[in-house]
Amino acid sequence: MSIDANIAAIAFGEYEIAELESLATQMHVWVVGTPRNRFAAEAFWKKITKGEPRSGVGVTTFISGPNVEPTERLPSLLETVREHHPALDRIVLYGIDRSAAVLGVLAIFGFRSTTSVSGGFSVCRVVT
């Protein structure tokens, strides 16, 4: 897969080092900062600093409370992701249901067109 700086992933759930690295070498990944994910992110950061810097890839961990559902965290997270990736036109989401509530939040940010991907779904910004 080629690197496209206009794509980011938002990942809720737990990921092994290889899983996170596979995603993070294709696009920037925003992953919930659980101890396991933080460990995987730190391993990726150590590995990536030894190579050539590449735009559009990487890992950012984010904090979500233990009793906070992904659907509750999504609106503020999308604001933050948009601040860091203003040209973002596609988001791949993992570990969150493609529910009416989630799609409604995504629509507020201009993301309406959905496609299934392995383990999640992607949304594209619809320009009208």
Q: Is residue 67 part of a domain?
A: yes
For residue 4, is pLDDT > 90? no
Number of domains observed in the structure of the chain: 1
Q: Is residue 22 part of a domain?
A: yes
pLDDT at residue 51, rounded to an integer: 62
Q: What is the mean pLDDT of the chain?
A: 87
Q: Is residue 37 part of a domain?
A: yes
Tokens (6 digits) for 23: 């995603």
Q: Is residue 28 part of a domain?
A: yes
Looking at per-residue confidence, does 69 or 61 come out higher? Answer: 61
For residue 26, is pLDDT > 70? yes
**pTM assigned to the model:** 0.86
pLDDT at residue 1, rounded to an integer: 44
* Cβ count within 10 A of residue 124: 17
Q: Distance between CA 83 and CA 80 in Å, rounded?
A: 5
Instruction: Name the one residue in this structure whose structure tokens are 């590449």.
Output: 54
Half-sphere exposure of 120 (CA within 13 A, CB side): 15
Residue 117, beta-bridge partner list = 120
Q: Is residue 1 part of a domain?
A: no
Q: Is residue 2 part of a domain?
A: no
pLDDT at residue 126, rounded to an integer: 78
Residues of the domain holding 12: 7-125
Q: Distance between CA 107 and CA 31 in Å, rounded?
A: 21
